Structure 1
Amino acid sequence: MIPLTWLYAPGDRQEVVAKALTSGADVVIVDLEDAVPPARKEYARAATAELLTTIPPVPVHVRMNALDTPHAEADLKALSPLPGLSGLRLPKITTSAEVVRVAERSAPVEGGAMPLYALLESALGVERAYDIASCHPALRGIALGEADLRADLGARDDAALDWPRARVIVAARAAALPPPPQSIYPNVRDLEGLAHSCAHGRALGFLGRTAIHPRQLPLIAQTYAPTQQEIESAEKIIDAAALAPGAQALPDGHFIDPAVVAGAHRTMALARRSAP
């Protein structure tokens, strides 16, 4: 299933993690980094390790502590061999060497290396987006950490982040990675603002979004799912391509080619994901 919703839960609050697992999120991200105060790091790691000794009801990723902290090595040793872990999210990545180091030190899983996801949260990370995105087969995705990036840039307007957003989307696709999920929307009560932000992110090329509260999930899923009009258009394109492969003009005047057909198939894959 193509994930559209990714829900963060603090690793030191087991009751919140338990609720996240039944929230309807496609992926739960247990956070050992920013959401956990220093005095609670060891407890959060141990609680998360206990959770992941069995397979949870939905895929669980863990955002480990930054690689330049004393907690990172302990996180890696405690979590990477566990059967319930579906991926490691690496915060504040600025070089491809950091990703390679984690990939080489992670315990192998069935089918290969532990899936890794790099979070680019600084100007330097964004500048090196493609090098990071293409550095190792274990890397399955990249994404922005917009709160830290905003602080690094001194950005006062959300529009200032559109160029970094586009840069990361292009880097991911150039490296044959999935389109990144959009970064969190920090105001959990402002659903109107969330809807506007999601629509803008979808237009840029993001696919899905991370969230910090379950109430954000339905709106994210709704915004990123194909509309009925998009589904009908995709069906027409696929049917036309099946009858006459190659570039052609449809009766309504729209021109299609293999790239447009591929996009139509992606739309239908998302539609099937959302079907009851």
Structure 2
Amino acid sequence: MPSIRPRRSALYVPGSSPRALAKAPSLGADVVILDLEDAVAPAEKDAARARAVETVAAFRQAGSPVEIVVRANGLGTPWIEADLAAIAAARPDALLLPKISRAEDLARVRALLAPDAALPLWAMIETPLAVLDPLSIATARDERLPLEMLVLGLNDLARETGTRQVPGRAPMLPWLMTALAAARAAGIGILDGVFNDIADEAGFAAECRQGRDCGFDGKTVIHPRQVDGANAAFAPSAEEIARATRIAGVFDLAENAGKGVVMVDGRMVERLHADMAQRLLRLAEAIAARG
């Protein structure tokens, strides 16, 4: 069966901060996103790009298990072409593209990248157009530069729509679930948006639980103190692992050969539940392998 890469936490790290970049590999996040966009002032863009390239090389040399992604500046900015050239040459695990509103935006990025560039793309879903039709973005395929992940950008979405970011996120839930359904229809991953109040640990934990219940693979975070909470929320619990262990191989038993439904722990279990249990166990194994 295919392996699973844990993406419980994806930590944004400003490309303009040498101190933060140096600490990034040791903070426990599954993914580190080196940010050249929102976290970097215009005057610092060139220096941040150079530091990000150096950081990718340092991760590679150290053999870090952390997935490293670089977020470029947006299409239409004066920095996008230099960003794309430098990131493609550095070969991080993925290139994150902000403010992707339609499939044509991905086509423009692919056209700007050099013909020999080959790396996965991640797309930010953070504009009204994007949440109206995330499926066209998620299914915009390319073998050389495949789209691998959608990432919710709820702060930009709130700014552009006037939507209030309230506990429980009721005004935004339809957009979140539409984007999630688009990702799953396309067979790609999806990460939940950030939680802004670093001091509100209870609120962050509640939003992580909601994101896990909704089906997200993990959560983007803006501070190292949020990493452990996201990792815990998006990892299978001991009870889930125990139950999945009982379900995963139940249809391999001789007495269940040919059956479509069996009883486990007093509950009806179908073959699709066994498939889900096997995936959960692979995720647990991948998390354990990270240490």
Q: TM-score range by the shorter chain?
A: over 0.9
* Equivalent residue letter for 1:177: I
**C-alpha RMSD of the superposition:** 1.8
Cα deviation, residue 108, structure 1: 6.8
1:77 paired to 2:85: yes
Does structure 2 retain, via aligned residues, the 8 Å contact 1:92–1:119? yes
The 2-side partners of 1:259 and 1:151 are apart by: 40
Q: 1:129 aligns with which of 123, 130, 134?
A: 134
Query: Which one-letter code corresponds to 1:254 in the other structure?
Result: R
Q: C-alpha displacement at 1:197, in angstroms? A: 0.6
Q: 2:179 aligns with which of 161, 168, 176?
A: 168
- State how far apart, in whole Å, the 1-side matches of 2:267 and 2:246 are: 11
Instruction: Measure the CA separation in 1 of the matches of 2:157 and 2:8.
Output: 23
Shifted more, 256-265 versus 54-63: the winner is 54-63
**Cα distance, 1:171 vs structure 2:** 0.3
CA distance in 1, matches of 2:114, 2:209: 39
Q: What's the counterpart of residue 56 of structure 2? A: 52
TM-score w.r.t. length of structure 1: 0.93
Q: In the alignment, which residue of structure 1 is the partner of 2:260? A: 247
- Give the structure, 1 or 2, with the largest relative contact order (CA under 8 Å, sep 6 or more): 2
Aligned to 1:219: 229
1:267 and 2:277 aligned: no
1:94 matched to 2:101? The reply is yes
Aligned ranges 1:1-276 → 2 under 5 Å: 1-54=5-58, 55=60, 57=64, 58-83=66-91, 85-107=92-114, 113-137=118-142, 138-156=146-164, 157=166, 158-178=169-189, 180-243=190-253, 244-245=256-257, 246-275=259-288, 276=291
Query: What's the offset of the Cα at 1:229?
Result: 1.5
SS at match of 1:131: helix
Secondary structure class of the residue paired with 2:170: helix
Structure 1 alignment gaps of length 5 or more: none
TM-score (norm 2): 0.88
Unaligned runs of 5+ in 2: none
Q: C-alpha deviations, 1:194-229, integer Å up to 9, x for none?
A: 111100111111111111111111111111111121
